[in-house]
């Protein structure tokens, strides 16, 4: 039924429709509304025989799920930012053990300096841990992706992260259509694990592997992961057939026919970019955009096929690899290897800075005029940067950077940024 609800509530409802059996989570903003709602629903007896464990930490949360999933339960958790980093060791273990756990990442910046707002630093930090990563453009898609994620995870026996932008989606109210239980049941079959810990038929999982076989174990995990490149679009197609809307998939193209310039991005900023593309098209600029919906595995060949005739690619990414620049753009460059297509890196929206159509249009015009620095930081306040650099040149013990910059701008929450 279509209703005006919050993204987090929609995700919680969608997870419940997937009939989870064990949920373990530790609350952290902006994931809190999802797990609060889930714990209430489990406590209220609305989630069948599901158990909700209020654990002592994120590390505990995922560790509990590793055990529960190995024992054959459908498992779910959600976290963000420092919480994801705190569970990092278990994140690798869940993937290495091939456990089909589904985890929502309410994307948030990683400190220091501490920042509760949205960017993709958290999920990007663990992009290579062996989990499939899906990114949602809207609250509707965030909810839908959970149905697809459980099916994908369980078909591959591989964990899946559903990444949704913190606050921008988790705390947004918009019209969302949630399916009913029978529809979800016919889309998502009961969990049939490929490996189960069973006391009556004991096995051990998680053996130590030496140099004789470690490469082969990793190679097979890589092969298995790449199978998602076929399964993700298949599942998205089957979702569309049943629910009559487009959700998920490896990528989605928007106004790409005859486009010479293409903006690539992940997550909710695609909405703003689509509006920007429309406005630039009205000015006569041949531009389109490409949403990467599945970032791990990375659909390199698929992107190469749709991009090979364009003249310029701009990757707008909400992350920064300190010391090199872009993360997504490095993958896009690899996908376009050997083709004469420049790939620009645009770092945007860090720590919750709003990404405006106005700034994007300005950036696109600069890119087309070959005026973009590499990497390019959208809306960087050079006045503050220059002042701070000058001050630091004069004084060796110039004091903590974060505190200085807060003084140079204004207190948190006093400006629309």
Partner 1 sequence: MVTVRIHGRGGQGVVTAAELLSTAAFTAGKQAQAFPSFGSERMGAPVMAFCRIDTRMIRTREAVTHPDVLIVQDPTLLHQVELFAGLSGEGYVLINSTFSLDELGIGEFLKSMPSDHVSVVPASDIGIKHLRRPIANTPMLGAFAALTGVIDLAAVQSAMRQKFPGSLGEANAAAAKDGYDHVVTHPAGERSGKDHARAN
Handedness of CA 188, 194, 197, 202 (dihedral sign): positive
Shortest CB 43 distance to partner 1, Å? 20
Q: Is 167 in the site for partner 1 (CB under 8 A)?
A: yes
Does 374 sit near partner 1 (CB under 8 A)? Answer: no
Whole-number Å distance between alpha carbons of 68 and 23:
9
Q: Crossing angle of helices 328-335/300-307, nearest 10°?
A: 70
Nearest residue to 118 via CA among 345, 315, 349: 349
Of 266, 290, 267, nearest to 277 (Cα)? 290
Please say whether the beta carbons of 264 and 312 come within 8 A. no
363 vs 370: CA distance, rounded Å: 10
Shortest reach from residue 361's CB to partner 1, in Å: 12
Q: For the CA atoms of 37, 39, 42, 44, what is the dihedral angle to 10 degrees?
A: -70
Q: Rounded to whole angstroms, how far apart are CA atoms 249 and 294?
A: 7
Position 168 contacts partner 1 (CB under 8 A) = yes
Assess 154 for contact with partner 1 (CB under 8 A): no
Q: Give whichever of 132 and 269 is closer to partner 1, judged by the CB atom.
A: 269
Q: Is 413 in the site for partner 1 (CB under 8 A)?
A: yes
C-beta of 111 vs 271, nearer to partner 1: 271
Give the residue, chosen from 302, 354, 381, 404, that forms a contact with partner 1 under the rule CB under 8 A.
354
What minimum distance in Å lies between the beta carbon of 268 and partner 1? 5
Rounded Cα–Cα distance for residues 164 and 8 (Å): 10
Quick one: which of 260, 351, 242 has its CA closest to 308?
Answer: 260
Per CB under 8 A, does 90 bind partner 1? no
Binding mask 229-268 for partner 1 (x = CB under 8 A): ---------------------------------------x
Binding of partner 1 at residue 157 (CB under 8 A)? no
Span from 52-60, 156-164, 168-176, 311-319 in contact with partner 1 (CB under 8 A): 168-176
Residue with Cβ nearer partner 1 (22 or 162): 162
Instruction: Yes or no: say if 316 and 265 are a contact pair by the CB < 8 Å rule.
Output: yes
Give the residue, chosen from 48, 113, 175, 206, that forms a contact with partner 1 under the rule CB under 8 A: 175
Using CB under 8 A as the binding rule, whether residue 406 contacts partner 1 is answered as: no
Listed residue (97, 102, 95, 98) closest to 79, CA to CA: 102
Question: Would you count residue 415 as binding partner 1 (CB under 8 A)?
Answer: yes
Answer yes or no whether residue 271 interacts with partner 1 by CB under 8 A.
yes
Query: Does residue 357 interact with partner 1 by CB under 8 A?
Result: yes
Q: Enumerate binding residues for partner 1 (CB under 8 A).
A: 3-4, 6, 29, 116-117, 165, 167-168, 171-175, 268-269, 271-272, 274-275, 352, 354-357, 412-417
């Amino acid at each position: 039924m279509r209703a005006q609800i919050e993204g987090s509530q929609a995700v919680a409802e969608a997870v419940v429709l997937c009939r989870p059996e064990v949920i373990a989570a530790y609350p952290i903003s902006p994931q809190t509304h999802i797990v609060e709602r889930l714990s209430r629903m489990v406590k209220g007896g609305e989630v069948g025989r599901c158990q909700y464990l209020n654990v002592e930490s994120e590390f505990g949360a995922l560790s509990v799920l590793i055990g529960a999933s190995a024992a054959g339960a459908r498992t779910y958790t959600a976290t963000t930012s420092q919480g994801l980093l705190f569970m990092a060791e278990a994140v690798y273990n869940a993937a290495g053990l091939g456990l089909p756990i589904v985890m929502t990442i309410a994307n948030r910046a990683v400190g220091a300096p501490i920042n509760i707002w949205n960017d993709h630093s958290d999920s990007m930090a663990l992009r290579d841990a062996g989990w499939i990563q899906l990114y949602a453009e809207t609250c509707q898609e965030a909810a839908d992706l959970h149905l697809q994620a459980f099916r994908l995870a369980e078909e591959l026996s591989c964990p899946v992260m559903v990444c949704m932008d913190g606050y921008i989606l988790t705390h947004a109210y918009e019209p969302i259509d949630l399916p009913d239980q029978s529809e979800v049941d016919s889309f998502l079959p009961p969990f049939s694990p490929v490996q189960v810990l069973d006391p009556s038929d004991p096995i051990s999982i998680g053996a130590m592997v030496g140099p004789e076989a470690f490469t082969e174990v990793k190679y097979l995990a890589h092969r298995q992961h790449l199978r998602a490149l076929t399964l993700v679009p298949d599942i998205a197609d089957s979702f569309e057939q049943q629910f009559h809307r487009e959700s998920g998939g490896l990528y989605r193209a928007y106004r790409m026919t005859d486009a010479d310039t293409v903006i690539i991005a992940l997550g909710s900023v695609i909405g703003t970019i689509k509006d920007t593309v429309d406005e630039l098209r009205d000015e006569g600029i041949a531009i389109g955009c490409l949403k990467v919906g599945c970032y791990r595995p990375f659909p390199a060949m698929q992107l190469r096929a749709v991009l090979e005739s364009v003249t310029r690619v701009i990757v707008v990414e909400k992350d920064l690899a300190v010391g090199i620049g872009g993360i997504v753009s490095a993958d896009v460059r690899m996908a376009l290897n050997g083709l004469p297509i420049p790939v620009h890196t645009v770092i945007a929206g860090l720590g919750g800075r709003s990404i405006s159509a106005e700034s994007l249009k300005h950036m696109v015009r600069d890119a087309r005029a070959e005026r973009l620095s590499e990497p390019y930081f959208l809306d960087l306040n050079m006045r503050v940067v220059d002042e701070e650099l000058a001050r630091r040149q004069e004084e060796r013990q110039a004091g903590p950077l974060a505190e200085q910059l807060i003084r140079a701008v204004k207190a948190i929450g006093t400006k629309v940024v």
